[in-house]
Chains A and B, each alone.
Chain A
Amino acid sequence: DTEVTQTPKHLVMGMTNKKSLKCEQHMGHRAMYWYKQKAKKPPELMFVYSYEKLSINESVPSRFSPECPNSSLLNLHLHALQPEDSALYLCASSRYSGDGDEKLFFGSGTQLSVL
């Protein structure tokens, strides 16, 4: 199984809502990532979990809250978002073997619209 599964595929939320994005992988990977991608732009790194601990936070606003309940699951909790947060949110995983040859495996993303 080389899949990263993201749910939901589409999400529309108001600025006062609380929602969560979910990501799951069963490849035994020990690093998991959240990227944000605006239209016609490259993916922008948000968070990295390594061995279930938050290792990288790219100065993301606190209205985005990541969580890694176990080695297979990654969540992104959303609260009080702004319309400019509308984007494709991508989850990825990698082995994190320490050899340097990391390869990212991506899910198909959640297309988020904030009204």
Chain B
Amino acid sequence: LAKTTQPISMDSYEGQEVNITCSHNNIATNDYITWYQQFPSQGPRFIIQGYKTKVTNEVASLFIPADRKSSTLSLPRVSLSDTAVYYCLVGPGPYGNKLVFGAGTILRVKS
């Protein structure tokens, strides 16, 4: 399984763009990169998923370089409500759905 490494925490201010990078050096050919957001006492929520290059949706962008050994989640103009833990998952792994969470990044947005 591809192991992921993220910064433990990041601080930002409202209105700024936040970029969170995830390292996954041993990503497999069939693996996708998926990011989740989690608030306290809630289940994680899907944010964005990509395989290569750039993906954008209404809440975030995901940048994946050609070698796919890392990825960057970009949150434009964050607000206080974006304070949460962000997880990068790489999978599905050899079973097709062994989806294991790494340590995650605590994002604190300040006013």
| A102-B93 Cα distance, complex, nearest whole Å | 10
CB distance from A29 to the nearest CB of B (A): 10
By a CB distance below 8 angstroms, the chain B residues around A90 are 43-44
B49 touching A50 by the CB < 8 A rule?
no
By a CB distance below 8 angstroms, the chain A residues around B97 are 31, 33, 48, 50, 55-56, 94, 96, 102
| A105-B44 Cα distance, complex, nearest whole Å | 8
By a CB distance below 8 angstroms, the chain B residues around A111 are 41
A42 touching B34 by the CB < 8 A rule?
no
User: Is the interface on chain A under 10, 10 to 19, 20 to 34, or 35 or more residues?
Assistant: 20 to 34
Q: Count of B residues near A, CB < 8 Å?
A: 27
A109 at the interface (CB under 8 A from B): yes
A109 touching B103 by the CB < 8 A rule?
no
Mark each residue of chain B from 69 to 107: 1 if its CB lies under 8 Å from any CB of chain A, else 0. Answer: 000000000000000010100011001111111111000
Query: Chain A CB within 10 Å — which of B32, B49, B99 has the most?
Result: B99
A33 touching B45 by the CB < 8 A rule?
no
B46 at the interface (CB under 8 A from A): yes
B30 touching A45 by the CB < 8 A rule?
no
Q: Which of B45, B87, B92 contacts A100, CB < 8 Å?
A: B92
| A58-B63 Cα distance, complex, nearest whole Å | 32
Chain B positions near chain A (C-beta within 8 angstroms)? 30-32, 34, 36, 41-46, 49, 51, 85, 87, 91-92, 95-104
